[in-house]
Amino acid sequence: MDEKIRNAGEMVLDSDRVVAFTGAGVSTESGIPDFRSPGGIWDKYDSSEFTYQNFRKDPGAYWKRRLEMREESDFDMADAEPNPAHIAIAELEEMGKLSSVITQNIDTLHEKAGNSEVIKLHGTSAEVKCLECGRKYKSEFAWEKAKGGELPPKCECGGTLKSDTVLFGESLPQDALQRAREEAHNCDLMLVVGSSLVVQPAASIPRMSQRGGAKLCIVNLEPTPMDGGADVAIHGKAGEVLPEIMDFVRQGQKG
Ligand code: NAD
CB atoms within 10 A of CB 3: 8
- DSSP track, the chain: --HHHHHHHHHHHT-S-EEEEE-GGGTGGGT---SSSTTSHHHHS-GGGSBHHHHHH-HHHHHHHHHHHHHH-S--GGG----HHHHHHHHHHHTT-EEEEEE---S-HHHHHT-S-EEETTEEEEEEEETTT--EEEHHHHHHHHHTT-SS-B-TTSPBEEEEEPPBTSPPPHHHHHHHHHHHHH-SEEEEES--S-STTTTHHHHHHHHTT-EEEEEESS--TTGGGSSEEEES-HHHHHHHHHHHHHHHHH-
Residue 200, pLDDT score? 80
Q: Is 127 in the pocket of ligand 1 (CB under 6 A)?
A: no
Q: Is 32 in the pocket of ligand 1 (CB under 6 A)?
A: yes
Residue 49, pLDDT score? 81
pTM for the whole thing?
0.94
Q: Could you confirm whether 86 is annotated as catalytic?
A: no
Residue 45, pLDDT score? 72
Low-confidence residues in the chain, pLDDT < 70: 1, 37-44, 255
Residue 35, pLDDT score? 79
For ligand 1, pick from 34, 51, 110 the residue to mutate: most ligand atoms within 8 Å of CB. 34
Q: Is 86 in the pocket of ligand 1 (CB under 6 A)?
A: no
Query: Cα torsion for 108, 111, 113, 116, to the nearest 10°?
Result: 160
Residue 129, pLDDT score? 97
Residue 73, pLDDT score? 80
Q: How far is the CA of 88 from the centre of ligand 1 (A)?
A: 18
Q: Is 221 in the pocket of ligand 1 (CB under 6 A)?
A: yes
Residue 182, pLDDT score? 97
Task: State the number of CA atoms in the 13 A half-sphere of 57 facing the CB.
Answer: 9
